[in-house]
Each structure stands twice: as C-alpha cells, then as structure tokens.
Amino acid sequence: MVDSIMGKLRRRFLWVALSVLLVTCLGIFSPTIAQTQQWRSLSNVVWGKDLPAFSYAFNKTPLVLYDGGTTKQVGTYNFPVSKGMAGVYMSLEPGAIRELHWHANAAEWAYVMEGRTRITLTSPEGKVEIADVDKGGLWYFPRGWGHSIEGIGPGTAKFLLVFNDGTFSEGATFSVTDWLSHTPIAWVEENLGWTAAQVAQLPKKQVYISSYGPAPGPLASATPQGQTAKIEVPHTHNLLGQQPLVSLGGNELRLASAKEFPGSFNMTGALIHLEPGAMRQLHWHPNADEWQYILDGEMDLTVFASEGKASVSRLQQGDVGYVPKGYGHALRNSSQKSLDILVVFNDGDYQSIDLSNWLASNPSSVLGNTFQISPELTKQLPVQDTTFSLPTQK
C-alpha cells in the first residue's frame, strides 16, 4: 500500500517537474499577462488560443562569454514562429574582433545600438568595403560574402544581427580559424606560402571572438594588404541620421528599404518611436515577415491570424516579437514612458497596407454593408492614413 502511494507520488512529482521544464523551455507558448487579463475583443476571443507565441523573452536569454565579447541568439530552435528570420545580440570590447567568416544560408543585416564598430566586407569579385559604423548605423552582408566586425571604442560596441533564415545559428558560421585548423597542414602551408613552423602558430580551433591584438587605428589606416578595388555600392547606412518618413505627435517612423539603402537589396529595417498611449495602427505586410526588437520601453503586440484566432503579447526591453507575412497586427505603447522599436523585414521592398488607408479607399456603400452600420456612422470612419494613432482623452 505504502509502495503504491509512493509510486503515485513519484509519478506526480515527475509529471510536475516535466511540466515546469516544458514551461521553462517552451514558455513562448504560454499566454502572457496581457493575453489573459488586460484587453477584450468584440468576439471575446481567448488570446493566444491554438496559436504559437509571437513574442520571446530574449532579455532573459543568458549570454555566452568570449575573450572580448558576448553573444546570444534567437531563432526557430527557441522561438518556433520566427521561420523567416533569426537574431543575434553581440557585444565587442575595444580592440576585439568577430573574426573573418561567412554565412552560407543567410544574409546578415545589423543595427548598432551602442558604441562604434568597423566592418570589412569582401565580394566574390575580390572587391572590398572597410567602414566605421556607429550607433544608429546599419550594415548588410550578402549571403556568402566574407566579412569581419571590430569594436573600435571608446566603450563597448553592442549590436543586433538579423538573418533572413529563421533556422540560422551562429554555430553554423564558417569561420576562417575553424576552417584552417580543420584542413591538412601541408595544404595550408601551400596556400599561404608559409613554413610548417609558421603554420603551427595558427589557432588550433575556432577563435570566434578575439582580443589578441591592439585596438584598430583611424579608418584611414585600415587599408587592404593587397591591391584591391572598392565595392561600388555601400553596404553601410546611417538609419538614425535619416529624417523620419512619418512624424505625428512625437511619434516617428524611420525606414531603410532598398530604396533608401540600395546595398540591402532583400532586407528592410525601420525604427519606430511611440509616445505613451500611441499606436502603430492596424496593418499588414503583403510581402514580408516582421521581426521586432524592443530597444527601450514596453510594447503590446496584437496579431490576427485569421480563422477567429488572435494574440496579444506584452514585450519588455530586449524582447523579440515576430509577425508572419500577411498577418494583421498593431504595436501599442501602453506604458507611461517612451517606446523605441527596431523592426526588420525579409524583403527589400517595403509594403504595408494600413487599415485606415484601406477603409478610406472604399466606397461608403461597401463599408456600410460590410460593417452593417448606418450611413451616418460610416462617414465617421477614417478618410486618410496617418500610420499612428494618438492617445484618446477619456
């Protein structure tokens, strides 16, 4: 009898432990406080029911430490809905370098949050771009092109890397030290024209991030060792230095599509600033997924997935949100402080259909019949697109 009871208790304990583990590892599927308590819909939908989570607590992901830097990543392996894009947070101390490497399965789009960096980029034609990218700046590295990133100080450089493949993992990066340390020594000697003793000085495994050398000098001193032509189209851009595409009541949208940043031909980035109570209005993107990172503040994200399914998520600073292509959504600042969001799309052509503009483009008869409302109320629907909604006075 006692053994039977103890057996049941052990099974119950194991079940509880497994449940806790699943919630911890797959907590992205659990409804947030915002989904269960704050907001109500006309249909009284249960927020998040039968849907994956569209937000991930990236701010709670532990950092991986290296000699001179840190990193952490988010993709389909821990945020399953993000099939079209993956993200990496990285920091580099002055003089540290993310070693020469390339990515075989994705392009790299980056935004510098703090500090200063220097990038090198080499094209398949052997042309090169060497540039300094400071806070608010972007770079774009096409898939398969060789590149490096340095922290040049003063202070720590912190930046976000976004890749246009949700399965991307930093562990699958092709690094030069990893490559040479896994190639026959005699072949490395022949390729570099070195002696065996010289080759023996190379790292025996992937370096990844290194702070071995001194901090780089002025940009003018960063010249190629050989005679190399420059890449004609710049692959760096100052997003924060742009004039806002839309500005209303202190709310702003800055955009860097292929139109503003030709080097980034298949990815678009944006900065959205929302004042307390303001909203990036209901809209959808016909041609791209949307990857979001909270730079500062808190955000509520609503996502409509069709078939009567919808989600409302609360994101904190450092968290990541994701909206699949074609899903209706809106971004709202429900807090008492300003909100800044980095938004990335996996298409260089920025397309957005806003609810206000969609309604304004239709005849009143269509609107009245669709919403089953009177002509008087139909006339009070939006007549132009403003991108942002300002807080209402109640």
* pLDDT, position 366: 98
* pLDDT, position 171: 86
Segments in the chain below pLDDT 50? 1-2, 5-6, 8-31, 36, 393-394
Tracing tokens 């100080």 back to the chain, one arrives at: 153
* pLDDT, position 228: 92
Strands 299-304 and 251-256: what pairing? unpaired
CB atoms within 10 A of CB 181: 16
* pLDDT, position 37: 57
* pLDDT, position 214: 77
Distance from C-alpha of 142 to C-alpha of 145, rounded to nearest angstrom: 6
First to last CA, the chain: 65
Q: Are the CB atoms for 276 and 391 separated by under 8 Å? A: yes
CB atoms within 10 A of CB 104: 10
The per-residue pLDDT for range 224-265, each reduced to its tens digit, is 999 899 999 999 999 999 999 999 999 999 999 999 999 999
* pLDDT, position 186: 98
8-state DSSP, 231? P
Task: Mention every residue, 6+ apart, whose C-beta is less than 8 A from residue 304.
Answer: 310, 327, 328, 329
- Residues marked active site are found at 98, 101, 103, 108, 147, 170
The per-residue pLDDT for range 69-81, each reduced to its tens digit, is 999 999 999 999 9
CB atoms within 10 A of CB 372: 6
Nearest to 100 by CA among 253, 228, 210: 210
* pLDDT, position 26: 41
Task: Mention every residue, 6+ apart, whose C-beta is less than 8 A from residue 31.
Answer: 47, 48
Q: DSSP letters of 130-156?
A: EEEEETTEEEEE-TT-EEEEEE-SSS-
pTM given for the model? 0.90
